[in-house]
Amino acid sequence: MNLTTQRRLAASILKVGVNRVWIDPEEVEEVSRAITRDGVKQLIDQGIIKARPKTGISSYRSKKLKEQKKKGKRKGRGSVKGAKNARTPKKQVWMKTIRALRSDLKEMRDTGEIDPTTYRKLYKMAKGGAFRSKSYMKTYARDHDLIK
């Protein structure tokens, strides 16, 4: 049976797309006899013609991906987009470095490895960006006989 007309009429009445119209397979004969909008409306009221529910977009794959990334996977060179400083900004790198240097300096001052004058000198140098890491700072202090 060709039910394209009935399907089209039902779609406009139900305000859905043609593909979302469901016609009861056992009542095909009766549906083919309905050729007016009123006839189709009656079939809709009887439940012979219905609108299928909207199909949603599954979030299963995205959830699984997120879970994997949480574990630290899928982050290799091939997945990297953006520059080095877009992923970890320069400021963040600087903050991490300077905080480590300053805490190390305080520790050295409190234990008596360096005197307050030397502490102040190294602190200013660190602020100026003279040291790239704690080990560099310690090496500098040793080479210049600043550590007691």
Domains in the chain, start-ordered, CATH in brackets? 4-51 (1.10.1650.10), 86-143 (1.10.1200.60)
pLDDT class of 148 with cuts at 50, 70, 90: confident
Q: Say if CB 95 and CB 89 are below 8 A apart.
A: no
Q: Which two tokens stand for residue 100?
A: 């480590």
In sequence order, the β-bridge partners of residue 51 are 21
pLDDT tens readout for residues 43-93: 999 999 999 999 999 999 999 999 999 999 998 999 999 998 998 999 999
Kindly report the pTM of this predicted structure: 0.54
pLDDT class of 1 with cuts at 50, 70, 90: confident
